[in-house]
Amino acid sequence: MGHSVGVIASDYIAVGKVDNNSIHGTIQKIRESETDSDYDFLAEMPADDIITRIGEQIVVVADGEQIPVVGIGFPGIIRDGIVLDSPNLQQVKGRDLASDIATYLAGQGIDTQVFIFNDADVLAAGVAATYGYLDRVVRGWYLGVGIGFGRYPQSDGVWEGGHFVVTLDPKEQFCQCGGRGHLEGIMGVRAMRLRFMDMEPEEVFEQARYGDKKCSDFVKLWHRALAAATATSVHVDGPGKFFIFGPNARFVQVGLLDLYLQEMVKMSPLQGSHFEVIKAEDALAIIGAAINAEQATRQVEFKRELTRKVYD
């Protein structure tokens, strides 16, 4: 067995080999630059180019080695390798991304299985592996271009937590998917740009620190929205630790978030949740994508074996 390969393609593309829940070798990246914003990098790239760029980097990372399985984290609702919807990368909606990338790799002499997962889910899996939580449920919020809700272990369900309804205000219609009152319609980069037409998100939070009322009020709304979405998860899946990662996790004030969550969750069996902001390093997502792919491979093999025994 060779090394598994993990890929994260969200704000930009990063690819690496994974062995024993850790990175093996160098991570390959495709992004605009190390300093410029990557918010629009993949959003402006045609679907075929995204597939080619991912495939090219997998080939580079493989370095002539046969790869048994590739796991890819990608934003949106993913089912059986098909992107059912991806509001922030609409050009790939409906594409059988797993098959397309596997076909590209086969043309490069790499015969492998390719699995696609939601990008926030692979981050949750990476946290579980890195922090030694593979035996428990891990939940996390990814704060970037869009808002992702990651969960490990994987289970049936859509888990599009970024589209939890957190307000009934009909004016809150900034979500990329077109829905009203969504978490992403408040916290997402596109939504913040539409709300503050002449300011980038980092400028909004900077002006809030200087006392600008409009910006300060929005920062409170931003935190209250995340607390409301977390409270929804608590009321469905129980209390626990929620990790926060992604480029906009730097704006989170954990104390304010805790305060708002306490206001929203009052039943004693559901109290006790807390937040931890961590750096969403590429390695976390790459490891998580590979782990999910390895587990998916074992599930496929188990089902095949079970089917064989039934028909035998």
Q: Are residues 188 and 77 in the same domain?
A: no
Tokens 């919807």 — which residue?
85
Of 122, 155, 175, the one marking the end of a domain is 122
Q: 32 pLDDT band (50/70/90 cuts)? A: low
- Mean predicted lDDT score pLDDT of the chain: 91
Q: Are residues 198 and 109 in the same domain?
A: no
Summarised one tens digit per residue, pLDDT across range 115-156 is 999 999 999 999 999 988 888 889 999 998 889 999 998 776
Q: Do residues 291 and 125 lie in contact, with contact meaning Cβ atoms separated by under 8 Å? A: yes
Summarised one tens digit per residue, pLDDT across range 16-29 is 999 988 999 999 99
Q: Is residue 284 part of a domain?
A: no
Of 61, 94, 122, the one marking the end of a domain is 122
Confidence (pTM): 0.85
pLDDT for position 159: 77
**Number of structural domains the chain divides into:** 2
Fill in the DSSP letter of residue 145. Answer: S
SS3 of 303, please?
A: helix
Q: Residue 15 pairs with which residues in a beta bridge?
A: 7, 28
Q: Higher pLDDT residue, 304 or 282? A: 282
Q: Are residues 75 and 165 in the same domain?
A: no
Q: Which domain holds residue 175?
A: 136-277
Q: Is the pLDDT of residue 34 over 80?
A: no
Task: Kindly report the CATH number assigned to the domain that includes residue 29.
Answer: 3.30.420.40
SS3 of 264, please?
A: helix
- Please list, in sequence order, all residues whose beta carbon lies within 8 angstroms of the beta carbon of residue 305, skipping any fewer than 6 positions away: none
Q: Is residue 308 part of a domain?
A: no
Give the separation between CA 125 and CA 127, rounded to whole angstroms: 5
